[in-house]
Amino acid sequence: MAFHSERINHDIQRTVSSLLRGVKDPRVNQGMLSVTGAETTGDLKFCKIYLSSLGSVDERELLRGLKSASGFLRRELARALSLRNTPELTFVIDHSIEHGAHINSLIADLYITPETEEANDD
How far apart CA 30 and CA 65 sit, in angstroms, is: 10
Q: Would you list the domain boundaries of the chain?
A: 2-95
pTM of the full predicted structure? 0.76
E strand map for the chain: 32-40, 46-54, 88-93
pLDDT value for 13: 95
For 59-81, write each residue's pLDDT tens digit: 899 999 999 999 999 999 999 99
The answer to whether residues 33 and 58 touch, using CB atoms and an 8 Å cutoff, is no
Which of the four pLDDT bands, split at 50, 70 and 90, describes residue 121?
Answer: low
pLDDT digits (tens, 9 = 90+) for 7-63: 999 999 999 999 999 899 898 887 788 899 999 998 889 999 999 887 778 889 999
The CATH architecture that domain 2-95 belongs to is: 2-Layer Sandwich (3.30)
